[in-house]
Amino acid sequence: MVARAFNSPLGTGPDHLADAVARRQELEEARKVQEQLLPRELPSIPGWDIAAACRPAWLVAGDYCDVVDLGNGQIAFALGDVSGKGLGPALVMAGLRALVRAQLPRQKTNLAALMSELNQYLLASTPDEMFVRLFLAILDTATGQLRHVNAGHIPPLVLAGSQAAPMRFTISGSVLGVLPDAVYEELHVGLRPGSLLAVFSDGIVEAMNGAGKMFNERRVVDSLRQGWGKSAMHSLANLLENVDRFKQESPQSDDISVILIRHTNGSAG
CB 190 within 8 A of CB 144: yes
Domains, the chain, in order of start with CATH, read 2-6+16-263 (3.60.40.10)
- 1-15, 96-110, 130-144, 179-193: least confidently modelled range: 1-15
What pLDDT, on the 0 to 100 scale, is given for residue 6?
31
pLDDT of 30 higher than 80: no
What's the pLDDT tens digit per position in 63-101?
889 999 999 999 999 999 988 877 778 888 888 999 999
pLDDT of 249 higher than 80: yes
| Longest CA pairwise span in the chain (Å) | 66
Cα gap 265→152, rounded to integer Å: 31
Cα gap 235→225, rounded to integer Å: 8
What is the rounded radius of gyration, in angstroms, for the C-alpha atoms of the chain? 19
What does the DSSP 8-state code read for residue 225? H
SS3 22: helix
Q: What is the reported pTM?
A: 0.85
